[in-house]
Chains A and B, each alone.
Chain A
Amino acid sequence: MADTLLSQQDKFRRRDRAKQFLDRIAPVLLSLGVFVGVAAVTSLLFTVITTGWSRLSWNLIFAYPSANPQTAGMRSAFLGSFWTVSLSALVSIPLGIASALYLTEWSSHRRLRRFLEFNMANLAGVPSIIFGLVGLSILTYGLGLGRSIIAGAFTLGIMTLPLVTVSAAEAIKSVPEALKHGAYALGATKLQVTRHIILPRSLPMMMTGAILAISRAIGEAAPILVISGLLFIRTDPTSIFDRFTVMPLQIFNWVSRPQPAFQELSSAAIIVLLALLMMFNAAAIAIRYRYQRRVML
């Protein structure tokens, strides 16, 4: 009898020790995840910067593409990326926030809402080339927009819409119910609650979704290859109906050239792409910061 009790106790103690051990190694395992991520990004950045730094010059942004790596630049690609990504953000962010508001606050059909939310989440995983093909058939040929900036921007905008919608919906759900109820109790209309309570509170978190959307749009080559297909162009875009090319296409082409000089150029172009990406994201972060402070006050 005493024997079994003792062994039972022993068992508990052993289990306890196992738990403590797990507790101790958990942070090691978790930090391993961080380590792998950071190491991958660092080695990537290191390779890109060491090979591309010497090729970094204003020429890269101001000169048109050329067969001579000494004078080649990516002016058309830089401007094309800037135009399409800015326009796509103008499409995806308002539309994404609007649909998130509808899904979380306005729609009264619970099952329809579930269905739409489920589909939105799935849409985020569709390969980008599919969006390119859909954009080609609907925007370029169907609506007759041609292989223009606006067709590319809409495609990227629709492609990144789920990212914005899903994160905006999460942001809206995080607004405390009590605040909304308080406003309703004071006689505020739904639009007023949305405008004065929900949006200011959730905007900082929504901006995170916007950053994800922009980051994805700026790095996409596949849908643009389908819609524009263009690489060599020596005129600057002056309207949204002009032809265009983007930086990922230029980088992809330079990487696959046999001459090492072009590969260095592609690394330099990656640095420019990352800089532009940080610029876009800094804008989103600035907006987030401003609203966060305003809400706190």
Chain B
Amino acid sequence: MKNQKKGVTTSLVVGVVAALAVGLVVGLLTGPSLLGVGTETVTVTVGGTGGGVQTVTQTVTVTVGTQTPVQLAGNIEVDGSSTVYPLTEAAAEEFMNIHKGVTISIGISGTGGGFKRFVIGETDINDASRPILKAEAETAAKNGVEWIEVPVAIDALVVVVHPSNNWVDCITISELREIWKPDSTVKLWSDVRPEWPNQPIKLYGAGPDSGTFDYFTERVVGKSKASRTDYVASEDDNVLVAGVESDPLSLGYFGFAYFAEAKDRTKVLKVRDDLAGGECVEPSDETASTFTYPLSRPLFIYVNKKSWDTKPHLREFVIYYVENGAKFAKKVAYTPFPDHYYRKAAALLRAGITEGLYELTTLKNKNAGPH
């Protein structure tokens, strides 16, 4: 009886081992093709935005796809924008599930607060909802900190009104400028367009501490942080959604992800960039990712060059982040760049080329705003 039991156990063990072995072989044979290992040829033009700048064109051919996981260990210190935070959180979470030895911590000191730490070399990566400022770049240079700028996703801003509003469908950038510029005289809807109702316009917008505010004022008013002040301001977009949906005469702006959750409670406007001779464009993942929608802003991570050079686990994390950028963007309801961007950017980073990633995103359109 006992022997028989032993026999059953032994054959079970043998079976399991055999199954494992077969699985391993099959996995090894089919794995590479499933994981999409192939070659990617990318041509990047660096510095060729204006005319006078010298243009360097580089072509790289590298293998893309997930390589055999190496044992990685170490710390990565991230700080910065709370807008980019959900994206980096998603990336860090999945990366740490694969590489148990890597510890990533992410702060939410804000883009500016994070850059203060980044430019003195305190952090490895800074989440940024706007490009680095000149003053910040100068401090970095003084401290010998070099960086890599990696665009990771797009956060479009939507202009919304109350769902009962039936007089406006499309608004132009110059009308938005008239409404939002400092000391604006627009008090009534009819002050914007005479055919609109002779009733007060109630404004809801980003608070002055948010990156959204910096971007909107720079893109619409033309000067960063220049805005009228007599409106309901909040750093929390949920407050703005609640305001716009409760006020029939409201007009407000906030992040696209918040509109996605409030589609039935608010009405989104098309935006026409009349200064660039554009059409009325409705915000969507597609129009935002190609920058045809005028209020699309790119989100970035800034990577400390020294950390990049010395920490293999950080290199692997950044590449992983970019390779799966589209997935993470969708997960947290941001807009991904077109697929080819992530492929090319990851290929470049793998090849050790760290410049010109931003140019990759704007090849199709120059609507991306100031940089």
Contacts and interface: CB of A to CB of B under 8 A. Distances in A.
Q: Do the two chains bind?
A: yes
Given A65-B89, A232-B105, A234-B96, 8 more contacts: A225-B109, A229-B113, A231-B106, A232-B88, A234-B103, A256-B236, A258-B257, A259-B261
Contact of A259 (B106, B107, B333): B333
A229 B108 contact: yes
B135 to A, nearest CB: 20
B336 interface: no
Contact of A66 (B93, B105, B108, B238): B93
Contact of B92 (A225, A230, A232, A256): A232
Given A67-B93, A257-B86, A258-B237, A231 B103 contact: no
Interface in B216-235: 235
B264 to A, nearest CB: 13
A233 B105 CA distance: 5
B291 interface: no
B251 to A, nearest CB: 20
Contacts of A88: none
Given A229-B107, A231-B106, A253 B85 contact: yes
A107 interface: no
Nearest to B234: A256
A68 B88 CA distance: 13
Interface string A262-281: 01000000000000000000
B80 to A, nearest CB: 9
Tier of interface size on chain A: 20 to 34
Contact of A256 (B82, B96, B103): B82
Interface string A221-263: 0000100111111110000000100000100010111111001
Interface of B: 78-79, 82, 85-86, 88-90, 92-93, 96, 103-109, 113, 235-238, 255, 257-258, 260-261, 328, 331-333
Contacts of A249: 108
Contacts of B257: 258
A229 B79 contact: yes
Interface of A: 65-68, 225, 228-235, 243, 249, 253, 255-260, 263
A256 B237 contact: yes
Nearest to A71: B93
Given A67-B332, A259-B261, A230 B86 contact: no
A230 B106 contact: yes
B105 A243 contact: yes
A255 B105 contact: no
30 contacts: A66-B93, A67-B86, A67-B93, A67-B328, A67-B331, A67-B332, A68-B331, A228-B107, A229-B107, A229-B113, A230-B79, A230-B105, A230-B106, A230-B107, A230-B108, A231-B108, A232-B89, A232-B92, A232-B104, A234-B96, A234-B103, A234-B105, A243-B105, A255-B236, A256-B236, A256-B237, A257-B86, A259-B261, A259-B333, A263-B238
Given A67-B86, A253-B85, A255-B238, A260 B108 contact: no
A258 B255 contact: yes
Given A225-B108, A234-B103, A67 B89 contact: yes
A229 B109 contact: yes
A257 B86 CA distance: 9
Nearest to A230: B107
Contacts of A260: 261
B238 A258 contact: yes
Given A66-B93, A232-B89, A232-B92, A258 B333 contact: yes
Contacts of B79: 229-230
Contacts of B103: 234-235
A229 B107 CA distance: 5
B210 to A, nearest CB: 10
Contacts of A228: 107
